[in-house]
């Protein structure tokens, strides 16, 4: 019988009660007495010199309190970047300034030029229309390869070029990889695009700044995945506010997908303006603003080469990638195409030599940063597409080619600097063959053919490095932050617990699953545990949620803090029962003395901690509250195998996904229902990238896909019922829960399965198409069919 | 977007040329034009109200005439700022060739939009620009040749899209839009 509480059970998500009944408290629900509203005038040009801004008419308009321009932010810090990449010559990346409001130049459509603060939002918008910026348009830098040619217009005049960095990994392997390519029996080459995406969380970004002149306290309410990171970056680097005078609250947040990790100019603006004006200032992004100011994702152009020997063993991989940084460096942008991407190029395979070259480029586009998967989907897509192409060129079964090259012994040190602790790739692939009913595919293909449709089957494996991250390691790699996590477990006198976690939940269900962990350890009901997150005044300094880290790192911190609680509670229980501490056992919320019938309940012990009338005060302090900081020893390495079946309409090129199966190894699973939901969401986003989504700029840098009329999000009828399985479990060897993380897997593993399936369908229809760049819109598929 | 087309006008090139340089004629022919002032030498200032897909805006901008070879060819270029709606800019190379007592007016038009217009209207911008150019040159042909129907013919109110305030002109443009 399935468990109904604790680890391994699937209780319904407690937070959904408020989300589904309209009782959530999102940032836009926060309204402070006397608050003003800001509207940003954003550049409608991609690249222009600001000769001046006439604010006089706007300042006289009804309700306008103040108009800010870049000049008001002279002396204020630059929006900082949290990761410094060192290039292949040992030089630091080029790092441009990023002012809160544009100074001197605008560098992308959406770059904020001025801000109008008014009594109402409508008044602020109206007045912004009366602002007259004198912009002198400059040539826009859009294409990445053009951007790094000599003599190209520079996005940042004070940098030497538009090249942020030219990264080589592992640089020492460069020559050996070249030699292996020369000596290979076969080399498969593939050029591909990882299309630019917009994260599109359901809730747009919102920020409310508040300032108390009586205490000099600043408060920022914001839609963030990591309020402490915002407090540190904004307080220390932009506005110069010490952390004890700055509180950052990220209440209910309606989805992040990475794009709410980063510190944004609007957050600094409302915090700054609230103090300048002496009244709270609120900003709520419109969907249009979200498209042109939320950090975008992906946008890599890659050439990958896979070398094989005469027995089809992989001997080397070489890639050259152009990665778009956009106009400024967003918080973690430099890490995405490098350490979150190059380190994954081994995939599930024992390729002995790998060389990854990444050229990160500034362009006149919205900054690009982490988006669900962040670097790992890009790596997986390249690798799993080139393997499929190699199998086709060599005339071998694509799964057999993968199996032959699987890593089978763990721990396994890859040639790209990471060590996989555990995994079983054959197990997930075999499970996939079972749940996807691969043996029934040919019959289904004939059924499709009978309907006049071409059916294709695409499969791939994936591995990801998540549970981000060991601080000492990422520090060597250029991270300017530690990536541990924090937890405080506060036991109340009557036995209930408040658990303060540095992780942040913006849809992941932490309030449910984290409570399951703590309740399971003590043996009490889940309902006795409350999870508190998202407020720097309540939670110890933590690093937030991204990189599938919350359970693996944040959950581990909670385990460590709870272990301390239990250790202390055992001391109290030993005193109460006049027994030796070493004989105390805790089970089902009861402390017992081993080998006797003596027991005290959890609640007796917690009460004694706060009413210490009969208490070992000479040995331990009263109270029952413990804090732990957990820094992981390694990344975690979830892996799996995915299968997609598509039908292609030979007349129109329209692709429908008929079946999709995912067999994942997430290690131990705390709440299978939540895990399944995470996989579903990730698959939908991966399918969105593969078939639908594309963020487009025209040659002048105009963003031409900035609404849902032109940016195609996946809808319910674009995805099939998913067959997902996570019964293959090789527990993580280095965290106390044995968990690996599941938030990004679906988005990482699914795009190559979809594309492999479409190529297979076209091949079955007699079209010798080897690759189509995502998204596989009917137009692109049809055009590829015509050329083949 | 770019397009090339031509229009046969039943009037000699010098009359067509004069009409092209006349602010009143231009005002009457530019769809949605509210104001037009200036001269061929100094350029024209114009206010145009237009709706592109979901975005309606008042564009204020200037038009300059260059490379004028009377009465054979000129280049028109202009840019209009639509506030929150973004901007539109473009130009036309116009050639006038005598043809059977009339004039063959050739035009190569290039138009670009920016800001919200590009963000929301990119799919429809080509069609919109073509419609604008077609309307302009159709209006222009009619203006030069003189109306073929009674000027006071009762016509339905124009669509909101044209944003006209002058009810007489509104009817005239509205009829063109519907034709």
Task: List b or e across B60-74, with b for residues whose CB sees 16 or more CB atoms inside 10 angstroms.
Answer: bbebbbeebeebeeb
* Cross-chain Cβ contact A292/B119 below 8 Å: yes
- Read off φ and ψ for residue A685, nearest 5 degrees: -70, -35
The average pLDDT across A41-63 equals 97
* Cross-chain Cβ contact A705/B122 below 8 Å: yes
For residue A483, pLDDT beyond 60: yes
For residue B154, pLDDT beyond 80: no
Give residue-wise pLDDT tens across range A588-618.
999 999 999 999 999 999 999 999 999 999 9
ipTM of the complex: 0.76
Q: Identify all chain B residues contacting A709, using CB atoms and an 8 Å cutoff.
A: 53, 120, 123
CA dihedral for A136, A141, A146, A151, sign (positive or negative): positive
Task: List b or e across A351-379, with b for residues whose CB sees 16 or more CB atoms inside 10 angstroms.
Answer: bbbbbbbbbbbbbbbbbbbbbbbbbbbbb
Best A39, A43, A44, A132 residue to mutate vs chain B (most B CBs within 10 Å):
A44
How confident is the model at residue B174, as a pLDDT? 41
For residue A772, pLDDT beyond 50: yes
The average pLDDT across A405-413 equals 97
For residue B159, pLDDT beyond 60: no
CA distance B96 to chain A (A): 31
The CA distances from residue A523 to A488, A495, A601, A626, in Å, are 19, 12, 11, 18
The listed CATH number (2.40.30.10, 3.30.365.10, 3.40.1280.10, 1.25.40.10) that belongs to domain A16-22+484-630:
3.30.365.10
Question: Which residue shows structure tokens 């992906």?
Answer: A298
How confident is the model at residue B176, as a pLDDT? 45
How confident is the model at residue B147, as a pLDDT? 66
How confident is the model at residue A412, as a pLDDT? 98
Give residue-wise pLDDT tens across range A218-237.
999 999 999 999 999 999 99
Q: How far apart are CA A174 and CA A276, in angstroms?
A: 54
Nearest CB to A702; choose among B53, B83, B114: B114
| Minimum CA–CA partner of A109 in chain B | B115
Q: Are strands A246-249 and A217-222 parallel, antiparallel or unpaired?
A: parallel
| Fold equal for A16-22+484-630 and A422-466+636-788 | yes
| Average pLDDT of the residues of chain A | 97
* Cross-chain Cβ contact B122/A698 below 8 Å: yes
**Burial environment of residue A460 by CB neighbours within 10 A (0 to 12, 13 to 18, 19 or more):** buried
Q: Are A401 and A312 in contact (CB under 8 A)?
A: yes
* Cross-chain Cβ contact B123/A129 below 8 Å: no
How confident is the model at residue A300, as a pLDDT? 98
The average pLDDT across B48-61 equals 85
Q: Are A465 and A376 in contact (CB under 8 A)?
A: yes
How confident is the model at residue B167, as a pLDDT? 43
How confident is the model at residue B112, as a pLDDT? 86
How confident is the model at residue A2, as a pLDDT? 60
Q: Identify all chain B residues contacting A702, using CB atoms and an 8 Å cutoff.
A: 112-115, 118-119, 122
The CA distances from residue A85 to A231, A334, A445, A461, in Å, are 23, 6, 48, 29
Q: For domain B2-178, give the CATH number.
A: 3.30.530.20
**Burial environment of residue B2 by CB neighbours within 10 A (0 to 12, 13 to 18, 19 or more):** exposed
The CA distances from residue B85 to A132, B113, B133, B160, in Å, are 14, 10, 20, 17
Q: Which residue in A285, A273, A110, A301 sits closest to A192, CA to CA? A: A301
Give residue-wise pLDDT tens across range A142-164.
999 999 999 999 999 999 999 99
Among A65-69, A231-235, A380-384, B60-64, whose mean pLDDT is lowest? B60-64
Nearest CB to B118; choose among A129, A702, A709: A702
How confident is the model at residue B83, as a pLDDT? 84
Q: Identify all chain A residues contacting B83, using CB atoms and an 8 Å cutoff.
A: 129
**Which tokens is A728 given?**
């293959």
| Minimum CA–CA partner of B1 in chain A | A698
Q: How far apart are CA A693 and CA A674, in angstroms?
A: 26
For residue B123, pLDDT beyond 80: no
Give residue-wise pLDDT tens across range B60-87.
999 899 999 999 999 999 888 888 888 8
**Which tokens is B49 given?**
């109200």
Q: How far apart are CA A642 and CA A402, in angstroms?
A: 13
* Cross-chain Cβ contact A700/B112 below 8 Å: yes
- Read off φ and ψ for residue A413, nearest 5 degrees: -90, 115
**Burial environment of residue A140 by CB neighbours within 10 A (0 to 12, 13 to 18, 19 or more):** buried
Reported as a pLDDT band with limits 50, 70 and 90, residue B149 is low
The average pLDDT across B121-135 equals 81
For residue B171, pLDDT beyond 70: no
Number of other CB atoms surrounding residue B91 within 10 Å = 18
Strand, coil or helix: A261 = coil
The rounded Cα A141 to chain-centroid distance in angstroms is: 27
Q: How far apart are CA A504 and CA A535, in angstroms?
A: 9
CA distance A166 to chain B (A): 32
* Cross-chain Cβ contact A44/B115 below 8 Å: yes
How confident is the model at residue A186, as a pLDDT? 98
Size of interface A-B (CB pairs under 8 A): 51
Q: Are A67 and A117 in contact (CB under 8 A)?
A: yes
Q: How far apart are CA A556 and CA A554, in angstroms?
A: 5
Give residue-wise pLDDT tens across range B2-34.
889 898 999 999 999 999 999 999 899 989 999
Q: For domain A28-140+199-293, give the CATH number.
A: 3.90.1170.50
- Output DSSP code: residue A154: P
Best A109, A294, A702, A703 residue to mutate vs chain B (most B CBs within 10 Å):
A702
| Minimum CA–CA partner of A111 in chain B | B115
Q: Are A678 and A724 in contact (CB under 8 A)?
A: no
* Cross-chain Cβ contact A704/B84 below 8 Å: no
Q: Are B107 and B5 in contact (CB under 8 A)?
A: yes
Give residue-wise pLDDT tens across range A324-376.
999 999 999 999 999 999 999 999 999 999 999 999 999 999 999 999 999 99
Report the C-alpha dihedral over residues A362, A367, A370, A372, rounded to 10 degrees: -120
**What class does CATH assign to A422-466+636-788?**
alpha beta
For residue B162, pLDDT beyond 50: no
How confident is the model at residue A787, as a pLDDT? 84
Q: Identify all chain B residues contacting A291, using CB atoms and an 8 Å cutoff.
A: 119
Q: How far apart are CA A119 and CA A486, in angstroms?
A: 40
> What residue spans define the domains of chain A?
16-22+484-630, 28-140+199-293, 422-466+636-788
Best B118, B120, B125 residue to mutate vs chain A (most A CBs within 10 Å):
B118
Among A366-375, A529-538, B88-97, whose mean pLDDT is lowest? B88-97
Q: Identify all chain A residues contacting B122, using CB atoms and an 8 Å cutoff.
A: 696, 698, 702, 704-705, 710
Strand, coil or helix: A565 = helix
Best B77, B115, B120, B125 residue to mutate vs chain A (most A CBs within 10 Å):
B115
Give residue-wise pLDDT tens across range A458-470.
999 999 999 999 9
Q: Are A562 and A627 in contact (CB under 8 A)?
A: no
**Burial environment of residue A136 by CB neighbours within 10 A (0 to 12, 13 to 18, 19 or more):** exposed
**Which tokens is A35 given?**
């608050």
CA distance A673 to chain B (A): 39
Q: Identify all chain B residues contacting A698, using CB atoms and an 8 Å cutoff.
A: 118, 122
For residue A177, pLDDT beyond 80: yes
CA distance B56 to chain A (A): 14
| Minimum CA–CA partner of B53 in chain A | A709
**What percentage of chain A carries pLDDT values higher than 90?**
98
For residue A432, pLDDT beyond 80: yes
Q: How far apart are CA A539 and CA A726, in angstroms?
A: 32
* Cross-chain Cβ contact B118/A45 below 8 Å: no
Q: Are A482 and A543 in contact (CB under 8 A)?
A: yes
Q: How far apart are CA A274 and CA A115, in angstroms?
A: 13
Q: How far apart are CA A405 and CA A189, in angstroms?
A: 18
* Cross-chain Cβ contact B86/A698 below 8 Å: no
For residue A260, pLDDT beyond 60: yes
Helix intervals (H) in A203-306: 227-232, 265-277, 287-293
Q: How far apart are CA A425 and CA A348, in angstroms?
A: 7
How confident is the model at residue B155, as a pLDDT? 43
Reported as a pLDDT band with limits 50, 70 and 90, residue B148 is low
């Amino acid at each position: 019988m399935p468990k109904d509480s604790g680890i391994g059970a699937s209780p319904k998500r407690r937070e959904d009660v408020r989300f589904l009944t309209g009782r959530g408290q999102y940032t836009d629900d926060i309204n402070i007495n006397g608050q003003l509203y800001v509207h940003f005038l954003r550049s409608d040009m991609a690249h222009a010199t600001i000769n001046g801004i006439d604010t006089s008419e706007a300042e006289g308009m009804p309700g306008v309190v103040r108009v800010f321009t870049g000049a008001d932010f002279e002396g204020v810090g630059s929006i900082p970047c949290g990761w410094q990449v060192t290039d292949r010559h040992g030089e630091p990346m080029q790092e441009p300034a990023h002012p809160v409001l544009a100074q001197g130049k605008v560098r992308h459509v959406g770059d904020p030029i001025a801000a109008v603060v008014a009594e109402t939002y409508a008044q602020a918008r109206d007045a912004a229309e009366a602002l007259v910026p004198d912009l002198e348009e400059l040539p826009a830098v859009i294409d990445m390869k053009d951007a790094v040619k000599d003599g190209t217009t520079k996005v940042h005049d004070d940098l030497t070029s538009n090249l942020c960095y030219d990264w080589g990994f592992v640089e020492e392997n460069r020559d050996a990889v070249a030699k292996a390519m020369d000596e290979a029996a076969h080399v498969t080459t593939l050029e591909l695009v990882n299309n630019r995406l917009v994260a599109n969380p359901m809730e747009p970004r919102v920020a409310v700044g508040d300032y108390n002149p009586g205490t000099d306290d600043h408060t920022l309410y914001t839609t963030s995945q990591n309020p402490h990171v915002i407090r540190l970056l904004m307080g220390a680097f932009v506005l110069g506010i010490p952390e004890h005078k700055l509180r950052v609250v990220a209440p209910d947040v309606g989805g992040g997908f990475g794009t709410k990790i980063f510190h944004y100019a609007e957050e600094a603006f409302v915090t700054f303006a609230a103090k300048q004006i002496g009244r709270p200032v609120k900003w709520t992004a419109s969907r249009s603003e979200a498209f042109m100011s939320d950090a975008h994702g992906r946008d890599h152009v890659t050439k990958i080469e896979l070398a094989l020997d005469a027995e089809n063993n992989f001997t080397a991989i070489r890639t050259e990638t152009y990665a778009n940084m956009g106009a400024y460096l967003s918080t973690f942008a430099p890490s995405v195409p490098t350490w979150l991407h190059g380190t994954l190029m081994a995939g599930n395979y024992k390729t002995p030599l790998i060389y990854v070259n990444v050229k990160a480029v500034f362009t006149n586009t919205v900054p690009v940063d982490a988006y669900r998967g962040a670097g790992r989907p890009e790596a997986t897509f390249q690798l799993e597409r080139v393997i499929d192409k190699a199998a086709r060129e060599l005339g071998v079964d694509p799964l057999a080619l993968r199996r032959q090259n699987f890593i089978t012994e763990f721990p396994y040190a890859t040639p790209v600097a990471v060590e996989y602790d555990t995994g079983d790739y054959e197990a997930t692939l075999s499970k996939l063959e079972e749940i996807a009913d691969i043996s029934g595919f040919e019959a289904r293909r004939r059924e499709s053919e009978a309907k006049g449709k071409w059916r294709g089957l695409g499969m791939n494996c994936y591995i990801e490095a998540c549970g981000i991250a060991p601080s000492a390691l990422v520090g060597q790699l250029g991270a300017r932050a530690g990536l541990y996590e924090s937890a405080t477990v506060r036991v109340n006198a009557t036995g209930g617990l408040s658990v303060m976690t540095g992780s942040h939940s913006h849809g992941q269900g932490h309030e449910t699953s984290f409570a399951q962990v703590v309740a399971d350890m003590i043996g009490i009901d889940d309902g006795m545990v409350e999870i508190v997150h998202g407020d720097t005044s309540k939670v110890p300094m933590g690093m937030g949620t991204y990189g599938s880290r919350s359970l693996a790192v944040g959950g581990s911190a909670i385990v460590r803090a709870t272990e301390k609680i239990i250790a202390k509670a055992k001391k109290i229980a030993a005193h109460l029962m006049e027994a030796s501490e070493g004989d105390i056992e805790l089970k089902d919320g009861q402390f017992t003395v081993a080998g006797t019938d003596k027991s005290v309940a959890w609640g007796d012990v917690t009460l004694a901690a706060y009413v210490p009338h009969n208490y070992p005060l000479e040995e331990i302090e009263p109270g029952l509250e413990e804090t732990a900081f957990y820094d992981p020893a390694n990344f975690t390495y979830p892996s799996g195998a995915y299968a997609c079946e598509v039908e292609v309409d030979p007349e129109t090129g329209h692709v429908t996904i008929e079946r999709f199966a995912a067999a994942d190894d997430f290690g131990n699973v705390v709440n299978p229902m939540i895990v399944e939901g995470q996989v579903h969401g990730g698959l939908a986003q991966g399918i969105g990238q593969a078939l639908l989504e594309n963020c487009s700029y025209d040659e002048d840098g105009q963003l031409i896909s900035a609404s849902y009329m032109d940016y195609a999000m996946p809808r319910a009828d674009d995805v099939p019922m998913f067959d997902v399985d996570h019964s293959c479990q090789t527990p993580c060897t280095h965290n106390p829960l044995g968990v690996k993380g599941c938030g990004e897997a679906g988005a990482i593993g699914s795009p190559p399965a979809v594309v492999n399936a479409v190529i297979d369908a076209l091949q079955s229809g007699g079209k010798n198409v080897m690759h189509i760049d995502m998204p596989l819109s009917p137009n692109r598929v049809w055009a590829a069919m015509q050329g083949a | 977007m770019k397009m090339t087309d031509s229009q046969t006008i039943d009037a000699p090139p010098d009359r067509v040329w004069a009409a092209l340089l006349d602010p009143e004629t231009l005002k009457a022919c530019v769809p949605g034009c509210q104001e037009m002032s200036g001269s061929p030498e100094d350029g024209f200032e114009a206010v145009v109200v237009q709706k592109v897909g979901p975005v309606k805006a008042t564009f204020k901008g200037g038009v300059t005439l260059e490379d004028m070879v009377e009465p054979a060819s000129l280049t028109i270029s202009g840019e209009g700022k639509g506030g929150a709606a973004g901007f539109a800019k473009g130009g036309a190379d116009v050639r006038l060739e005598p043809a059977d007592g009339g004039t063959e007016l050739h035009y190569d038009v290039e138009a670009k939009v920016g800001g919200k217009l590009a963000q929301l209207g990119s799919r429809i911008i080509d069609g919109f620009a073509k419609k604008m150019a077609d309307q302009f040159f159709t209006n222009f042909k009619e203006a030069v040749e003189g109306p073929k129907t009674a000027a006071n013919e009762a016509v339905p109110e124009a669509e909101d899209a044209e944003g006209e305030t002058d009810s007489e002109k509104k009817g005239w443009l509205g009829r063109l839009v519907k034709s």
